[in-house]
Amino acid sequence: MSAAIEIHDLRKSYGKHEAVAGISLTIERGEIYAILGPNGAGKTTTVEILEGFRERDSGTVKVLDSDPGALGIHGSAWRNRIGIVLQSNSDAAELTVAETVHHFSHYYSKPKDPDSIIALVGLSEKRDARIRTLSGGQRRRLDVALGIVGSPEILFLDEPTTGFDPEARRAFWELILALKAEGTTILLTTHYLDEAEALADRVAVINAGKIIEIATPATLGGRHLAKATISWQEDGRVQRMISENPTRDVIELAARFTGEIPELIVTRPSLEDIYLTMIEGQK
């Protein structure tokens, strides 16, 4: 089976500003793929080209074997197979959650049961509430419900958890992992590195319209090879040591103390540290 999404040398400019400056990537079926990057890096432009909302200047794009920029009369059949969660909306304020999800389910040829989707996103208690009364996080979960009610093969999520409290984010992550378990391919853009780390099989870091690196969250920027930092308390102050072999060094250190090493911490650079270094390196 061919890849879910294939992009080659994608370019898009707004006037003189080159928002996407030659991006190539392949997303396999069933994969959760995260695009990371600062504001204005070209994430949303790229995703909106894949969703068929924007035209590109050049390059080739295939989403489920179709070119989203040249769908013609096949557009409806293609959209039947994808789900889109856009950035912030405030539409349908006067409809209820249940009315909206039920209504959208009619658009698709193989919809999921709307009520079980409402339950899945945790809005059962709000099913008869008007949408304008929902909190930001509830509203976002409704957006996701509308994106998945048609049983999409590919789900696009553009900054899905902006404005969520930590508990809602964890619940949302579980939902996304459940969709992946069903075989859904998911393309996620996010600012949150912990989100990419928790969900993504692979991440692409983009900045100024170009890909800096594509890797798994664990190996991004050589993170798995990076040296560890060991810190502890000795002689009345915090001691630090950069180590290539932290296990050996901790054992040696342990020999100097009777019992516990005071305030021992062993850290490796977080995904965020790596990411920030990569973005800084671009400037």
Contacting positions for another protein (CB under 8 A) = 51-53, 76-77, 79-80, 82, 84, 86, 88-95, 99, 103-104, 106-109, 130, 146, 150
Cross-strand bridge partners of residue 13: 18
Q: What's the min distance (Å) between Cβ of 113 and another protein?
A: 17
Q: What's the min distance (Å) between Cβ of 97 and another protein?
A: 14
Dist. CA 217–CA 200, nearest whole Å = 7
Report residue 167 CA to chain centroid gap: 17
Q: What's the min distance (Å) between Cβ of 96 and another protein?
A: 9
Note whether 229 and 267 are within 8 A (CB). Answer: yes
Q: What's the min distance (Å) between Cβ of 73 and another protein?
A: 10
Q: Which is nearer to another protein, 31 or 51 (CB)?
A: 51
Q: Which is nearer to another protein, 24 or 96 (CB)?
A: 96
Q: Which is nearer to another protein, 109 or 247 (CB)?
A: 109
Q: Which is nearer to another protein, 79 or 223 (CB)?
A: 79
Q: Which is nearer to another protein, 104 or 232 (CB)?
A: 104
Q: What's the min distance (Å) between Cβ of 76 and another protein?
A: 4
Q: What's the min distance (Å) between Cβ of 66 and another protein?
A: 13
Q: Which is nearer to another protein, 91 or 260 (CB)?
A: 91
Dist. CA 254–CA 264, nearest whole Å = 10
Dist. CA 74–CA 104, nearest whole Å = 19
